[in-house]
Amino acid sequence: MTMPRYTFKEFKSDQEVRWCPGCGDHGVLAALQRALPDVTEALGYSKERYVVVSGIGCSSRLPYYMNTYGFHSIHGRATAISTGIKVANPDLTVWQACGDGDALAIGGNHFIHAIRRNVDINIILFNNQIYGLTKGQYSPTSRFGAISKTSPYGTVEHPFNPGSLVLGAKGTFFARSLDSELKLTSEIMLSAAKHDGCSVMEVLTNCVIFNDGAHKLIADREHRADRTIVLRHGEKMIFGKNRDKGLVLDGMGLRVVTIGENGVTEDQILVHDAHSDNVGIHMMLADMKYPDYPVALGIIRDVKDVTYDDGVRDQVAEVKAKSKIQCVDDLLRSGSTWEVK
């Protein structure tokens, strides 16, 4: 059957978008609405196969704005519900919207175990480094020393790096983008949909009310090219306004070099291998922070492994094939039975 060619308009609901003007969540919504027609065409999905799940937070309003099936769940439990939906109905393609507080604090346990199990769901992690909906408390990703409603003198704890967390949990797909990079974010979403397993996409978003400018040092257009690097599988790790900077291995770590200085040539620059089983280089890329390094954007890791939902489905089919019990009536009549007169 030939699938209709959708546009982003078919994935927009009739609901008024109620995020603050300037909120980075608008960009993520636009990227997803633009990505799903490409996903539909690439994978032959019908529109009825999409379901968007969320927890609690500003980002979790996303299902209302998508013309798909949706489930606005409870705080921190979006990953558990996404897992249940995928295992119960593997034909559905599940997209999960969650924030850094929702997913990494109260929902942290569900988050890491969905990654460990490699459940075939697509997780969009909106990271604005703050609790926005509850009016400005610091979150698990707030920078050390951040001033907030609950840390008036600055936080005294180190933040999570979502990339390190995902890779430490044996994640098979991790990517990062900026809320203003719609094209890159949509490209990542298409690749995430094609990935068989748990895909985590961290999008660095701006909260204009409670944490404005959280990512300004790297997101500012004037300096973005020099302070970020867009990784693409099979391509040299080169960045900068003049495309004259790159990454090389230096012992057990990475080092930023300038091509043409100190005898450095383009041939020495590392080639990105997102499909490498060795998680070490991916961990180093995910950990890079400005000003010592450019912040890595794009797909950092994309490897194959068995998925939890496939394993459950195959196991159930195998047991059913061997079992004499095929229905509830068979179950009731199995084992010891007696007749009451």
What is the pTM (predicted TM-score) of this model? 0.94
Average pLDDT score, the chain:
95
Q: How confident is the model at residue 243 (pLDDT cuts 50, 70, 90)?
A: very high
Residue 2 pLDDT class (50, 70, 90 cuts): low
Burial class (CB in 10 A: 0-12, 13-18, 19+), 250: exposed
Residue showing tokens 């990454």: 247
CB 26 within 8 A of CB 65: no
Q: Give the residue extent of every domain in the chain.
A: 8-214
How far apart are the C-alpha atoms of 259 and 246, rounded to whole Å?
7
pLDDT tens figures, 172-186: 999 999 999 999 999
Instruction: Return the exposure string of 121-136: e unless at least 16 CB atoms fall within 10 Å of the residue's CB, then b.
Output: bbbbbbbbbbbbbeeb
Strands 238-239 and 245-250, bridge-based pairing: antiparallel
3-state secondary structure (DSSP) of residue 228: strand
4: pLDDT strictly greater than 80: no
CATH topology of domain 8-214: Rossmann fold (3.40.50)
Q: How confident is the model at residue 171 (pLDDT cuts 50, 70, 90)?
A: very high
Sheet holding 253-258, edge to edge: 238-239, 245-250, 253-258
| Least confident range of 14-23, 282-291, 300-309, 329-338 | 329-338
Q: How many separate helices (H) and strands (E) can be counted in the chain?
A: 11, 11
pLDDT > 70 fraction of the chain, expressed in percent and rounded: 99
pLDDT in tens, 96-129: 999 999 999 999 999 999 999 999 999 999 999 9
What's the pLDDT at 336?
79
Residue 311: the pLDDT is: 96
pLDDT given at position 1 = 58
How large is the greatest C-alpha to C-alpha distance in the chain, in angstroms? 98
Tokens 């890491």 label which residue? 112
Least confident piece of the model among 92-101, 158-167, 214-223, 330-339 = 330-339
Residue 273, CB-side half-sphere exposure with 13 Å CA sphere: 9
> Do 200 and 175 contact (CB within 8 A), yes or no?
yes
Under the banding of pLDDT at 50, 70 and 90, the label for residue 39 is very high
